[in-house]
C-alpha cells in the first residue's frame, strides 16, 4: 500500500516530466473556448430566430390583453367618477338645505304672549281653545 508522501512524489514527477504537454493542452482548451464563444456570438442558432418569433408573438398577445383590460378599467373609472360627481352635487345640496334650516331655526323667537302662541299653533294645523 502506498502512502500519501509516495503519491505526492509520483504526482510531482508526473508534472515535472509532462509539464510541456499539460501547458499545450491548457492552451488548446483556451483557444477552443475562445473560438467557440466567437463563433457562437456571430453565428447564432437558427432556432433562436424561431424562439424570438414565438416570444414576440406572446408579448404582442399579452400587450393586447393588457390594453383591453386598461380600456375596460378606464371605462369603469369614468362611470365611477360620474357617480362620484352626482353624489357630491347631491351632498352639496343637502348641506345647503341643512344650512338654510339651521338659519331658519336661529330666526325663530319665543312667542311674546299667549295670542301669538295660539296663532303659531293654528298656522301649524293644531286647534287651540
Residue pair 98/107 in contact (Cβ under 8 Å)? The answer is no
Cα atoms found within 13 Å of the Cα of residue 68, Cβ hemisphere only: 6
Residue 72 or 23, more confident: 72
Please give the DSSP secondary-structure letter assigned to residue 127.
-
Q: Where are the domains of the chain?
A: 1-43, 54-112
Residue 21 or 62, more confident: 62
pLDDT, residue 46, reads 67
In this structure, what is the dihedral angle of CA atoms 32, 33, 38, 42, given to the nearest 10 degrees? Answer: 90
Residue 127 or 77, more confident: 77
pLDDT, residue 39, reads 79
d(CA 115, CA 112): 8
pLDDT, residue 83, reads 96
Residue 40 or 51, more confident: 51
pLDDT, tens digit, 9 for 90 and up, residues 98-126: 999 999 998 888 888 988 888 888 988 88
d(CA 79, CA 73): 10
pLDDT, tens digit, 9 for 90 and up, residues 8-43: 888 888 777 877 888 889 999 999 999 888 877 766
Residue 86 reports pLDDT greater than 80: yes
Cα atoms found within 13 Å of the Cα of residue 89, Cβ hemisphere only: 6
Which residues touch 22 (CB under 8 Å, ≥6 apart)? 15
d(CA 35, CA 28): 10
Query: How does residue 85 score in pLDDT terms, banded at 50, 70 and 90?
Result: very high
Q: Convert 83-96 to b/e letters by CB count within 10 Å (16 or more is b).
A: eeeeeeeeeeeeee
Residue 1 reports pLDDT greater than 70: no
Amino acid at each position: 500500500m502506498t502512502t500519501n508522501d509516495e503519491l505526492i512524489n509520483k504526482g510531482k514527477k508526473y508534472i515535472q516530466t509532462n509539464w510541456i504537454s499539460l501547458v499545450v493542452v491548457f492552451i488548446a482548451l483556451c483557444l477552443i473556448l475562445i473560438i467557440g464563444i466567437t463563433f457562437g456570438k456571430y453565428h447564432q442558432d437558427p432556432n433562436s430566430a424561431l424562439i424570438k418569433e414565438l416570444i414576440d408573438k406572446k408579448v404582442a398577445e399579452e400587450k393586447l390583453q393588457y390594453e383591453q383590460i386598461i380600456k375596460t378599467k378606464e371605462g369603469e373609472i369614468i362611470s365611477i367618477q360620474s357617480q362620484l360627481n352626482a353624489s357630491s352635487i347631491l351632498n352639496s345640496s343637502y348641506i345647503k338645505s341643512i344650512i338654510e334650516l339651521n338659519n331658519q331655526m336661529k330666526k325663530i323667537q319665543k312667542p311674546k304672549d299667549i295670542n301669538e302662541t295660539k296663532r303659531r299653533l293654528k298656522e301649524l294645523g293644531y286647534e287651540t281653545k
